[in-house]
Structure 1
């Protein structure tokens, strides 16, 4: 799907009108849905035709013949039943193709939207809840379409067939059929509001539970190391209890509704049979025995169809609630606006911060204030300071994950606010404190997103990242699968693979966020040497707690409470005996 197609789906899904949203989504496949409805109408012919055949056969029996008429009605019944098989297959092919494509469209649109939402959104949102929306909620929509459409179309076909055939045979009986409509509407009205409330509560509880399970999986090493297994189990159990309670409450509501619907409509069906029989016996209308069976059969079909539809309302409620859940992401306003802005075709690496300030929406105090800093192409700048001084905020501002609330940031003399930052980031590589690898081979992780990369280019990156020894130690070389999040590699190995991934992109701007702070001394030495190769000739911004790793930086920027308090090379700052010298003395003892 293209970005334009994704944006159309965003426009079509509205949390305020979930049912309308579903019709809009299916409307994207009008041709297939139209063919499906056509073949469904053909295959459902026996449903409304068999009561006519049954009534005719009974009248033939009552009147004593002729036997040849039985043969004709038998042939009609055989043809009507036999055509069901091929037409059902055609209906399934066209409709389920549309349903599955709708599910794929929604998942792709969600993935695209998630990529355009700001880092602030992803910081607030639980990854487990996002995963639930992409997997479970889209599946609920597919299940709803799959399970509801067949009974809905069948009920429509039965209703049309029953009304037409009754109008032909016993038109005076048509008003009786109309009784099903107010009963169905009344039952639907009774369920609607409470069903929505309980489905929404159930969905929220499932999302909360998913977040708890994701949290448990992430904290597993900490939990086991501190003997907190029972605490973790209790936290998950609380979430499971919430799901159980909300689900049970929803089940009770659906059970009461299902029983009430069935009893009401079955009583109406019995009443219709008795009324048709009484009219025939009393002679009030000229109704034959076969027509009594016909009317009773049609009314049974009608009440059965309406009952079936009412029984499906819980599935519809769950599906529409899932549409609302999906719409929460597709309509989330906190997106990174890049559309229509100038693309970046080349980057020299000059960055200037002019009176830059930033304040998080929920904070009373700005994260940084009045930052003025000019970085020349190829220069290495290190940011140091105590926790909360604004170091990581500076990197996120340069990367464009955060936008200044005051001042501006210039890239090669152009205000970054006017640039498509997605195109800028093609010239940027980031090596975080803990590099994340996906479950694939080492080579796939290095060449991620680059398409067809030559072996020579990958080997050069591995060599400069001091990572060739990692490849040589693996049973399948660079085709070795690293496991989920790179679990089969050590921290130092993962970091060097991440550096190779940065090198193979040949970035113009490099961001290092405490890239060696989580490593042992031996691994740190290898990673630091690899970073030396990576930083050559590139504009590099470094955040570091270990001051020993930034001695060679061209300039060191010391931050305190979101402000720059010192700037200069290592030796000059030591000689000043200011805040940097104080931090250095604390670390060196």
Structure 2
């Protein structure tokens, strides 16, 4: 897994490649930047927790002072030690919380940032295979599980370990004859944990995958709710979610049942040992076999109860730790995914004239019997508008995805201004490219934020208004309640389809792209909206290299060239009038309805 950088890392590349090592090692990498802070937190915690393992010793001293009538000054001395321990508890607790919380929160923030950064690096092919709901669950739920696991392990686990170590040290000094009995507890607990670890891990993995499936189902349901309601399919949608819920319930029940068995087994074994230790200490004191005082009996009994409680706490942490480690593995599935868009070390693009050349380009999707594009030869001149038409499945959208760089040719080359696109840093190339899709994606921000998205120096309101006017959008933006600062709602829900499309055109205009891609940009609009959008598109296309996929005649008839595709190959090329006169496949497609 990649090592998550803290926010102060300022977006540096992730510098540790996950290769499937144990999740504990991965966690060590994640927390490495705060190792000094964590060491200080452990030291402070030991001070804070000292009363739990010193109190039985002081209690034993006080009992012996009373029983054996020792000098009363010893009583005040022991009381003073107790008061000092209590006095430092509060400031040490605050210091520990500050140190540990800062480290864990920094790690979780860095890990979420690493996940989001990696999602931006992964190819579009990866995102088409992995549900957005699953990825969301990894960023939110899995990181939460890691954070909670670390919190509980640091609080309960450290408490149990420091109590056990402190108790064993005191017993070794005060009653060394009983030390071997106490040392039996730790190996017994270790054996129990080892015996149950594999099953707990397996159950956690099953539960995690069922939760990811549920997240995917819920995301799917919410994104399709308009279609579901429009077709009266509410019961079908609910049934799909209910099926996932049932599987989560079953997996969760089995996990809880296993955790209950582990907890009960640990409690019975450890408390049986505790009773045995108490009886042994009482017999030793009663018959005087060793020099054991009444206070020592109380101390040994208290220590074994504390030791048992600490070991039980560690046992109860097993499912929490297993869930956290499983979440580390889950996140590793994203951070180690090899399907990356690699741009490091490639040529930066400083300018684009718009000359695009497809040379023998072919592409086949994974698992497909036939290539989606086969032997494509197409040269597009700077400033030329080329329309791609053809039946469904002809390969038109694949050509656009190849040009954007979402997918790479399996054969052939794509040249941009004479340079192989495989040699270019696609991030810099895309600064000169804009896409207007069939359904424009807006986020729940203002008009201003949506149009200038990714452009912190987009200019003043005059430049923004000019882009909106050119896109035929200013007339409706000016009527919005807060103008440019009106929130458009999730996915632009407060706007009509035509309004969203015009904002998308304004977004493209303000970027002044050299290469423009129009993917069914008007197919979902009514007649009036289409007219406004077509007029705006005419301004946007002027002087730019344009590749357009469209069905409507009004969008393609004025193109400089129309390329007719079928079965992934170019079948005809020419202007609208030339292709109609030829009477071939283009004429059979009946442009205007199903080109």
TM over 0.5: yes
Structure 2 residue aligned with 1:486: 492
Residue 14 (structure 2) pairs with residue 7 (structure 1): yes
RMSD: 1.5
Tell me the distance in 1 between the aligned counterparts of 2:420 and 2:66. 91
Relative to 1, partners in 2 of residues 1:147 and 1:294: Cα closer, same or farther, differing over 3 Å?
Answer: same
Structure 2 residue aligned with 1:364: 369
TM-superposed deviation, 1:63: 0.8
Tell me the distance in 2 between the aligned counterparts of 1:293 and 1:218. 65
Tell me the distance in 2 between the aligned counterparts of 1:587 and 1:345. 41
TM-superposed deviation, 1:65: 3.3
Tell me the distance in 1 between the aligned counterparts of 2:543 and 2:39. 61
Relative to 1, partners in 2 of residues 1:578 and 1:272: Cα closer, same or farther, differing over 3 Å?
Answer: same
* Greater Cα shift, 170-179 or 319-328: 170-179
TM-superposed deviation, 1:398: 0.6
Q: What per-residue deviation string (whole Å, max 9, x for no partner) do you get for residues 336-362 of structure 1?
A: 111111111111111101111111111
Relative to 1, partners in 2 of residues 1:6 and 1:249: Cα closer, same or farther, differing over 3 Å?
Answer: farther
Structure 2 residue aligned with 1:421: 426
Taking the TM superposition and a 5 Å limit, the aligned residue runs for 1:64-103 are 64-103=69-108
Tell me the distance in 2 between the aligned counterparts of 1:239 and 1:277. 57
- Does the aligned pair in 1 maintain the 2:157–2:317 contact within 8 Å? no
Taking structure 1 as the reference length, the TM-score comes to 0.97
- Does the aligned pair in 2 maintain the 1:15–1:323 contact within 8 Å? no
TM-superposed deviation, 1:228: 1.4
Relative to 1, partners in 2 of residues 1:16 and 1:66: Cα closer, same or farther, differing over 3 Å?
Answer: same
Q: What per-residue deviation string (whole Å, max 9, x for no partner) do you get for residues 94-139 of structure 1?
A: 1110001111011000000000000000111111111111001000
Residue 258 (structure 2) pairs with residue 253 (structure 1): yes
* Greater Cα shift, 33-42 or 92-101: 33-42
Aligned counterpart for 1:335 among listed residues 340, 343, 354: 340
Aligned counterpart for 2:564 among listed residues 555, 558, 565: 558
**How many residues align structurally?**
587
Q: What per-residue deviation string (whole Å, max 9, x for no partner) do you get for residues 294-337 of structure 1?
A: 22222222211111010011111111111111110001111111
Tell me the distance in 1 between the aligned counterparts of 2:552 and 2:573. 17
Residue 243 (structure 2) pairs with residue 211 (structure 1): no
Aligned counterpart for 1:179 among listed residues 160, 181, 184: 184
Tell me the distance in 1 between the aligned counterparts of 2:10 and 2:208. 29
Residue 285 (structure 2) pairs with residue 280 (structure 1): yes
Tell me the distance in 2 between the aligned counterparts of 1:585 and 1:28. 62
Aligned counterpart for 1:54 among listed residues 35, 45, 59: 59
Tell me the distance in 2 between the aligned counterparts of 1:502 and 1:578. 35
Structure 1 residue aligned with 2:4: none
SS at match of 2:14: helix
Taking structure 2 as the reference length, the TM-score comes to 0.96
Tell me the distance in 2 between the aligned counterparts of 1:111 and 1:502. 25
* Greater Cα shift, 263-272 or 480-489: 263-272
SS at match of 2:478: helix
Tell me the distance in 1 between the aligned counterparts of 2:231 and 2:171. 75
SS at match of 2:353: coil
Structure 1: 5+ residue runs without aligned partners?
Answer: none
Tell me the distance in 2 between the aligned counterparts of 1:213 and 1:587. 36
Structure 1 residue aligned with 2:141: 136
Relative to 1, partners in 2 of residues 1:356 and 1:457: Cα closer, same or farther, differing over 3 Å?
Answer: same
Relative to 1, partners in 2 of residues 1:4 and 1:499: Cα closer, same or farther, differing over 3 Å?
Answer: closer
- Does the aligned pair in 1 maintain the 2:146–2:325 contact within 8 Å? yes
Aligned counterpart for 2:537 among listed residues 531, 534, 551: 531
Tell me the distance in 1 between the aligned counterparts of 2:183 and 2:405. 63
Structure 2 residue aligned with 1:152: 157
Tell me the distance in 1 between the aligned counterparts of 2:145 and 2:288. 53
Aligned counterpart for 2:523 among listed residues 505, 508, 517: 517
Taking the TM superposition and a 5 Å limit, the aligned residue runs for 1:411-490 are 411-453=416-458, 454-490=460-496
Q: What per-residue deviation string (whole Å, max 9, x for no partner) do you get for residues 391-434 of structure 1?
A: 00000001111100001000101111111111101111111000
Structure 1 residue aligned with 2:3: none
- Does the aligned pair in 2 maintain the 1:430–1:512 contact within 8 Å? yes
